[in-house]
Amino acid sequence: MKILVTGGAGYIGGAFVRAALAAGHEPVVLDNLSTGHEDAVPTGVELVRADLRERAVLDPLLARCGAVVHFAALSIVPDSIADPVTYYRENLGGFLVLLDGVREHGPARLVFSSSAAVYGDGGGRPFREEDPTRPVNPYGGTKLAMEQTLAHVAPALGLRAFSLRYFNAAGALPDHGERHDPETHLVPLALEAALGRRTLTLFGEDYDTPDGTCIRDYVHVADLAEAHLAALAALERGEGGVLNLGTGRGHSVREVLAAVERVTGRSLPVARGPRREGDPARLVAAVDRAEAVLGWRAARPDLDAIVASAWEWARRLHGG
């Protein structure tokens, strides 16, 4: 199947493109390369460098593809707090243009890259899909608005769709990993510290967690890619809706730093800083629904193995 992959030159989108190729699909990447990388798109895959809102480019792509997997979005929480108008304009506005194109040209299947940021801060237990959504930052707000838009629009368009709520994507493939500029994710930042490229700042040690630092559910990017393939297959069976993608297990910031030190054999230079605005204390997924609907469960849940894959990529990217 030919699949339009918006944002396919990014971290998670690039991993999906590789998984789709391996499964025998034909991905077509649409990416403006504002945060993605041209060389993240595998050789031989069609890359259309354009903004999602360029209808003269978007519409012919939609007309010749059998499904859309939508990754394209701004995704830096602190930036969303500093400039929420831009985040809503780019994320929700771009999504509305995409849906308008789908209305006119098809296709009838769409997988949307959502986020656990829609939940906010819900206390100690894992989040279930039916839990209240109370985003604590504008980035999460844009993702929730996009989910709600899709839920209202899909029936009117005859569109079968999934919104997949990622928890914390991490890890790397042998030829593909994180390359954000600036980097804001904990694992690559800690690995840069292990390489002597930075001092890592620990933002907040007074959260209501066992060791005082934030807890997140780290899911390997390859597992996320495979979940999208499973979602496309489930759409063919008439399934759809909202699903969490995670491992079901949380790790604190301190636990991640300890894993990085184990994997790299290096001590990390760490500075202490205040809490960052918009950071929930805990984000951990309840994952039974994804297993029931998609037949999917994270196959790479071990934190040290996730870190090790990212370490190999970081050394390849930066040397050391």
Residues with catalytic function: 139
- The pLDDT of residue 182 is 87
Please report, for the chain, the start and end positions of each structural domain, with discontinuous segments joined by +.
Answer: 2-170+219-245, 186-216+248-318
How does pLDDT run across 47-59, given as a tens digit for each residue?
A: 999 999 999 999 9
In angstroms, rounded to a whole number, what is the distance separating the alpha carbons of residues 49 and 47? 6
How does pLDDT run across 253-287, given as a tens digit for each residue?
A: 999 999 999 999 999 999 999 998 888 899 999 99
The model's pTM is: 0.96
How does pLDDT run across 111-161, given as a tens digit for each residue?
A: 999 999 999 886 678 999 999 999 999 999 999 999 999 999 999 999 999
The CATH number of the domain covering residues in 186-216+248-318:
3.90.25.10
Topology classification of domain 2-170+219-245: Rossmann fold (3.40.50)
| Averaged pLDDT, 82-89 | 98
Average pLDDT over the chain, rounded to an integer: 96
Given pLDDT bands bounded at 50, 70 and 90, which one contains residue 40? very high
Tokens 């500093």 found at: 82
Count Cα atoms within 13 angstroms, Cβ side, for 88.
Answer: 11
